[in-house]
Structure 1
Amino acid sequence: MGFADILDEIGGFGRFQMIHVTLLSIPGLLMASQNLLNNFTAGTPGHHCNIPNRTSLALGQNISASDLSDQEVLQAFIPVAEGSGLSKCTRYTEAQWHLVKGNVSGTWTRTNVTDAETETCQDGWIYDKTEFQATIVSEWDLVCTLRPLKQMSQTIYMGGVLAGAIIFGGLSDRFGRRALLIWSYFQLATLGTCTAFSPSYLAYCIFRFLTGMAVSGIILNAVSLKVEWIPTKSRTLVGTISSFFFTFGQMILAGLAYTLRDWRKLQMAVCSPFFIFFIYSWWYSESARWLMLNRRSDEALKHIHRVARINGKPELAQKITVEMLESHMHKEVQSSKKIYTVYDLLRTPVMRQISICLMVVWFSTSFAYYGLAMDLQKFGVSIYLIQVIFGAVDFPAKLVALGTLSFFGRRVTQASCLVLSAAVIFANIFVPAEMQTVRTTLAVLGKGFTSASFTCIYLFTGELYPTVVRQTGMGLTSTMARVGSMAAPAVLILDEVLPALPSIVYGGSALVAGIFAIFLPETLNVPLPDTIEDVEEKWVKQKGRSAQEPAEKELALLPESDF
């Protein structure tokens, strides 16, 4: 008899759990905006070199400045790049008026291009404001030779997410889920808002790095607070429904970005609401499971009584005592007296197998996801439309994932999502470039499978790691996800070697991860483990049984406290 039985006694998935999960999930509407924000705040508008003021032009050839349209002036100053567009990074050293001539109808046409001398943009750039009114690219001229700084800003942000996964994961196992979550809300609200007032590119990158740290703190601790207050049978449904908040958030981002074309306004819009989340987060209850394992039984009892009252079972407030809690979790409390580190995730055979497999799966899921989602301008259609499509496909993908998670289990679902995403990415290699609709459709499908993989891996990881190291494990594995998200943009430069090479790398990574997922233990309808010994004993028993014996029978023969 363990903590899962106590949860059932105080109402199972009752009124408290519904309010708790809802309040924890609402910030997810804007969490997706943080990771994908760079698509809009760092969008690259059409641009060309600035040219001299028309009134100062020495035209000659009997041409009056008033006779020329803006397009015709551009023809004299801006060379044609490869293809049909004007050069974005060079201009003629001297105006080439012979390239523009009048005809009897009074119109102007372009003649043959000469080999006239060109130079880099000496007077800055002119930006097209049709799609974006202002971005960090247009504000700080992150084009041409400074173009890598655009991607660097996203890499720096992901570096902050990585640092947050390492720092907040360990701290929350030491100081609690609730305290770190409240702090993370405040950090994101404050520093995210400060980002909107950045006076320079350097300040912008610093604020984005610190904002990324807060994003990790929110995600990791919100997942643990949900999992540790939810009864075993409700975890799949709650985990999937919670992920829909992230999905809908992608569509909200598209709407906000379409309405607020200025990056500062958009940055403010997606960060300032976290002040509201910070205020109401004080209502949250700390994980009673974590409190018990940290020998804070009186506090755990207080929170359990509170949950019982909210769930309409006040009579249990007198029935459940500290002695009862400690007797239910005696084994776990004794085990928790040891101080755990990242080393404990790799020290024992089963934990080592779980950690290695999860690190590969997290890396590849994030690697493929951001490889598809972070360069929306490459699809040749409105960036706002493609963001909506990418968000909308997640709904059916996650509904299918919900069904497979409930009926076929976590392991099959995780492996299938990764293998199918790999298959779609590989298929796109053989689609001709001119078939843009087909290529976009396949990319959307790949995005759907990787999103479903994310839904599964968040739930799966929380169920696989025991309470004493759950946040440390979430921090380690999600660290690998951040490494994948940082590496994904860099792989795109491989298309200069071979156009299909990025897709081969993305698809190959997803395929390998799908194979690794097969070696993870199944956790469908299995109570959460509290100690490392629980995990080792449970998995050894599972491996010792006949491979032909149904999983349901295995679980029925084991007492719930075994895992």
Structure 2
Amino acid sequence: LSLKDLLTVSIPTDPQQGPSHCRRFRHPQWHLLDPNVTATNWSKEATEPCVDGWVYDSSTFTSTVVTQWDLVCHSQHLKPMGQSIYMVGILLGSTVWGLLSDRFGRKPTLIWCCLHVAVTSTLTIFAPNFLIYCGLRFVSAFAVAGIVMTSTMLLVEWTPTPKRAVSMTILGCFLSLGQMGLGGLAFALRDWRTLQLAVSVPFFATFLANWWLPESARWLIIMGKPDKGLQELKKVARINGQKEAKKTLTIEIVLKRLQFSRQAFFTRKVVRNNFALWLLRDPILALSFRFSVTFSYYGLVLDLQNLGSDIFLLQVLFGAVDFLGRATTPFLLKFFGHRITIASSQSTAGFFILANVLVPRDFQSMRVVFAVLGKGCFGVTLTCLTVYRTELFPTSLRMTADGLLQAAGRLGAVMGPLIGMTRQALPLLPPLSYGIAPIASSFLLLPLPETKGLPLPDTMQSLEN
């Protein structure tokens, strides 16, 4: 018998008229070899689950977490659940590290998080089962949130107002380059453990390199440490080749700046006592709808398999378009401002996702084009939000507030893969949800204040002004 005949008598057909992945006949159905008998002429009672295991296609990857722990059939929901557990770690980490960074500083938080990620990510490759694997990924994600937040905040607080959009764009472009590099790395390393090790070890190097970074002088001054702030300012001036700054930067100038920081330190306590009421302000409420951006973003990028067979090329394409989209951000912010740029790019991404619903699956190239363009628009949105959200809060509470905003966004990242789990039962629900959510939430950004060209607020008074 040919392989086709063996499959016919051994494996029932699925709704797409292909061999079922999850059930087999209890006994060979020889009558199905009769050309006059249709493949549907069999009873469900004649089938049983594949109790002897599965054979996997290893042409793309030699080993994955799916093949490692058989995350198929009745266990196939564990894969998106594992992705959501990772996002829950980032969600909780965003809140915790935001508070700790405002309390102990940006630099110590960043250094500890890098070591945390390096150790826990490396230990992941030794996980004996999927439960421990998810636990280690959760702990690793918890610290990843701290790295993302503190590195961004250090860059913002060291950058002059006219160059803030450019510096955030450069940071975003490096994220896109990392995404492209991940596609190439996965192409070269087809075993999941080797790939996991390759992306974990560099964090040991960043842990050592971050000791060289200066602490945020703005945060030191606000916290009543002008001497240390002056020391960091002189260090950065020396790195930038500003030799005359050694004479012009004095404690008197810093103390003059401290007049504002004492007020900030006093209002910091007042604000913390009324933080629950302060959260009801328009910026927090509207930017909490960052949920919709990450909801659609991660729902799209974590499900590359539904867009085509060459996931390596898709990963690189996503990164390349993301890079180009982020690179245009300074020009868009300059001409249109923060609110219009965020709202328009977010809604455009939603329209591209909805357009994909209308494209038949046979037109795979067109589906990939729409998905890639939508990803590029999300890149613009996320870069703009990185600039915008830092300008809405005072220095003394910036990391705490940013942590809560990040948590709102990560809640969307948790829900994105979970909605993707409904694809088999309700095929249209995931794409419709991913498309409608950013379009609807974009209108909520329009009433917010425009902050283009304004300096970072250090105190509650400057924020009100």
Same fold flag (TM > 0.5):
yes
1:359 alignment counterpart = 288
Change (3 A) 1:340 1:375: farther
Q: Percent identity?
A: 41
Shift of 1:245: 0.7
Using the alignment, how far apart are the partners of 2:196 and 2:317 within structure 1?
A: 22
- Within 5 Å, give how 1:35-114 maps onto structure 2: 68=1, 72-97=5-30, 99=32, 112-113=38-39, 114=41
Shift of 1:88: 0.6
Q: Secondary structure at the match of 1:409?
A: helix
Contact 2:102 2:398 in 1 (8 A): yes
1:203 alignment counterpart = 132
Change (3 A) 1:498 1:190: closer
1:378 alignment counterpart = 306
Contact 1:411 1:517 in 2 (8 A): yes
Q: Secondary structure at the match of 1:86?
A: coil
2:431 alignment counterpart = 503
Q: Secondary structure at the match of 2:59?
A: coil
Give a deviation string over 1:475-499, Cα, whole Å, max 9, x none. 0001011100111122235556654
Output the aligned Cα RMSD. 2.2
1:212 alignment counterpart = 141
Give a deviation string over 1:274-297, Cα, whole Å, max 9, x none. 101111110000001101111111
Give a deviation string over 1:32-70, Cα, whole Å, max 9, x none. xxxxxxxxxxxxxxxxxxxxxxxxxxxxxxxxxxxx555
Shift of 1:112: 4.6
Shift of 1:74: 3.5
Shift of 1:439: 2.4
Contact 2:271 2:278 in 1 (8 A): no
Give a deviation string over 1:212-232, Cα, whole Å, max 9, x none. 111100000001100111111
Contact 2:286 2:444 in 1 (8 A): yes
Using the alignment, how far apart are the partners of 1:391 and 1:318 within structure 2?
A: 45
Residue 327 in 1 paired to residue 250 in 2?
no
Using the alignment, how far apart are the partners of 2:48 and 2:425 within structure 1?
A: 28
Using the alignment, how far apart are the partners of 2:390 and 2:37 within structure 1?
A: 66
Give a deviation string over 1:328-365, Cα, whole Å, max 9, x none. 2312332223337777555359x8111111111x2111
Contact 1:192 1:208 in 2 (8 A): yes
Contact 2:284 2:405 in 1 (8 A): yes
Corresponding pairs, count: 461
Change (3 A) 1:344 1:519: farther
Residue 237 in 1 paired to residue 178 in 2?
no
Shift of 1:426: 2.9
AA of the residue aligned to 2:18: G
Give a deviation string over 1:407-454, Cα, whole Å, max 9, x none. 222112111111212222333333334333322221221111111101
Using the alignment, how far apart are the partners of 1:420 and 1:410 within structure 2?
A: 16
Using the alignment, how far apart are the partners of 2:128 and 2:218 within structure 1?
A: 45
Q: Which aligned segments of 4 or more residues in structure 1 are displaced greater than 6 angstroms?
A: 340-343
Shift of 1:156: 0.6
Using the alignment, how far apart are the partners of 2:36 and 2:391 within structure 1?
A: 67
Change (3 A) 1:343 1:134: farther
Which residues of structure 1 form unaligned runs of 5+? 1-67, 102-108, 539-563
Name which of 333, 337, 341 aligns with 1:409: 337
Name which of 516, 521, 533 aligns with 2:444: 516
Tell which deviates more after alignment, 248-257 or 478-487. 248-257
Using the alignment, how far apart are the partners of 2:250 and 2:277 within structure 1?
A: 35
State the structure with more CA Rg.
1
Using the alignment, how far apart are the partners of 1:140 and 1:446 within structure 2?
A: 33
Using the alignment, how far apart are the partners of 1:335 and 1:162 within structure 2?
A: 28
Using the alignment, how far apart are the partners of 2:425 and 2:59 within structure 1?
A: 33
Contact 1:345 1:352 in 2 (8 A): no
- Within 5 Å, give how 1:432-511 maps onto structure 2: 432-495=360-423, 499-511=427-439
Contact 2:218 2:229 in 1 (8 A): yes
Name which of 261, 266, 277 aligns with 1:347: 277
Using the alignment, how far apart are the partners of 1:396 and 1:387 within structure 2?
A: 14
Using the alignment, how far apart are the partners of 1:124 and 1:280 within structure 2?
A: 47
Shift of 1:133: 1.0
Which residues of structure 2 form unaligned runs of 5+? none
Contact 2:294 2:409 in 1 (8 A): yes
2:81 alignment counterpart = 152
Using the alignment, how far apart are the partners of 1:291 and 1:175 within structure 2?
A: 10
Using the alignment, how far apart are the partners of 2:357 and 2:274 within structure 1?
A: 42
Contact 1:340 1:468 in 2 (8 A): no
2:454 alignment counterpart = 526
AA of the residue aligned to 1:160: G
Using the alignment, how far apart are the partners of 1:492 and 1:329 within structure 2?
A: 51
Using the alignment, how far apart are the partners of 2:83 and 2:36 within structure 1?
A: 40
Shift of 1:85: 2.2
Change (3 A) 1:223 1:342: farther
AA of the residue aligned to 2:463: V
Residue 191 in 1 paired to residue 124 in 2?
no
AA of the residue aligned to 2:344: S
Change (3 A) 1:244 1:322: same
Using the alignment, how far apart are the partners of 1:255 and 1:502 within structure 2?
A: 28
Shift of 1:135: 0.9
Q: Please give the TM-score of this superposition, normalised by the length of structure 1.
A: 0.78
Contact 2:263 2:459 in 1 (8 A): no
1:26 alignment counterpart = none
Tell which deviates more after alignment, 501-510 or 268-277. 501-510
Give a deviation string over 1:448-484, Cα, whole Å, max 9, x none. 1111101111111112211011101110001011100
AA of the residue aligned to 1:339: K
Change (3 A) 1:330 1:532: same
Tell which deviates more after alignment, 397-406 or 169-178. 397-406
Contact 1:239 1:455 in 2 (8 A): yes
AA of the residue aligned to 2:159: I
Q: Please give the TM-score of this superposition, normalised by the length of structure 2.
A: 0.93
Contact 1:345 1:355 in 2 (8 A): no
Using the alignment, how far apart are the partners of 2:94 and 2:31 within structure 1?
A: 61
Q: Secondary structure at the match of 1:91?
A: strand
1:115 alignment counterpart = 42
1:53 alignment counterpart = none
Change (3 A) 1:345 1:454: farther
Change (3 A) 1:478 1:344: farther
Using the alignment, how far apart are the partners of 1:72 and 1:490 within structure 2?
A: 38
Using the alignment, how far apart are the partners of 1:305 and 1:84 within structure 2?
A: 71
